[in-house]
Each structure stands twice: as C-alpha cells, then as structure tokens.
C-alpha cells in the first residue's frame, strides 16, 4: 500500500503570521491591562486629595462663607455689599464669543 498522505498547504505567509501574532499579543496585553482595573483604583489619589479638603472643611470654626468675618469686614470697610455697583465693578465680568475671534 502506498503512503499517499499529503500535508495541507499552509495558506498563510510569513508577514501575515507576524501580523497575526502581533494582533494577538496586543489583545492579550490590553486584556491583562484591563483586568488590572479590578485591583487598581486609578482614581485613588483623587479621592485622597478630596478627603484632605473635606478634612480641612471640618477643621474650620466657620464653615459657611457668610460667616467669614474678615470678608464681611472688607465689605464694611470699603462700604459696599455683594452685587452692588462697586462689587459689579470689581468682582463681576462678562464673557465673549470666542468662535468668531
């Protein structure tokens, strides 16, 4: 009996093979990276800084802006009040249309 088994011809060339491996590697790596999201909280430093500010809030004797005595003294000593004409001049502004500049 004659042995007539013939191996299937490879339909993929070297370049395609490398491309395929490249894509596969990228997929595996980005998959692995995505999995780290489960363990690593990438917003942790934001939460820690925010906690620092809330800690500062709770430390203060006064926690509402209208209880800032020095601020109220400033309004008194320059003889004006919020949204008065002098306040408009110093503390208010207007906005421009930047799409036409």
Partner 1 sequence: MSKSYQKNELDSIIKIDEQKCKGCDTCTAFCPADAIDGAYGAVHKIDSSRCLQCGQCLINCPFGAIDDTVDAVDLVMSKLKDGKTTVVATIAPAVRVALGEEFGMEPGKLVTEQMYGALKEAGFKIMDVNFAADNTIMEEGTELVHKIQKYVLGMDSHEELGPLPQFTSCCPAWVRYMELYSPTLRKHLSSAKSPQGMAGPVAKIYGASEIWKVAPESIFCVGIYPCTAKKMEASRPEFTAAADYWKKRGHTATYQDTDVVLTTRDLARLLKKLNIDITNVKPAEEKDNPLAEYTGAGTIFGATGGVMEAALRTAYFVLTGEELSQLKYEPVRGLKEVKKADVPIKLKNSGKEITLKVAVVHGTKNVEPLLEEVKDGKSPYHFIEVMNCPGGCVNGGGQPINPMGTSWTGKFKAFLPW
Closest of 96, 93, 91 to residue 81, by C-alpha: 91
Q: Where does this chain touch partner 1 (CB under 8 A) — which range of 2-10, 12-20, 84-92?
A: 84-92
Spatial contact of 81 and 89, defined as CB atoms under 8 Å apart: no
Cα-trace Rg, the chain: 34
**Interacting positions 7-36 with partner 1 (CB under 8 A):** 33, 36
2 binds partner 1 (CB under 8 A): no
- Of 2 and 70, which CB lies nearer to partner 1 in the complex structure? 70
Length of the chain: 101
62 binds partner 1 (CB under 8 A): yes
Question: What span, in angstroms and rounded, lies between the C-alpha atoms of 21 and 46?
Answer: 38
Residues lying near partner 1 in the complex (CB under 8 A):
33, 36, 40, 42-60, 62-71, 73-75, 77-78, 82-83, 87-101
């Amino acid at each position: 009996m004659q042995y007539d088994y013939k191996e299937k011809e490879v339909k993929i060339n070297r370049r395609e093979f490398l491309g395929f491996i490249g894509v596969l590697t990228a997929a595996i790596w980005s998959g692995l990276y995505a999995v780290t999201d489960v363990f690593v909280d990438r917003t942790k430093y934001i939460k820690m800084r925010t906690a620092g500010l809330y800690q500062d809030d709770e430390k203060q004797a006064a926690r509402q802006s209208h209880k800032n005595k020095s601020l109220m003294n400033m309004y008194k000593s320059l003889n004006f009040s919020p949204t008065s004409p002098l306040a408009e001049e110093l503390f208010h502004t207007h906005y421009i249309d930047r799409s036409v500049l």
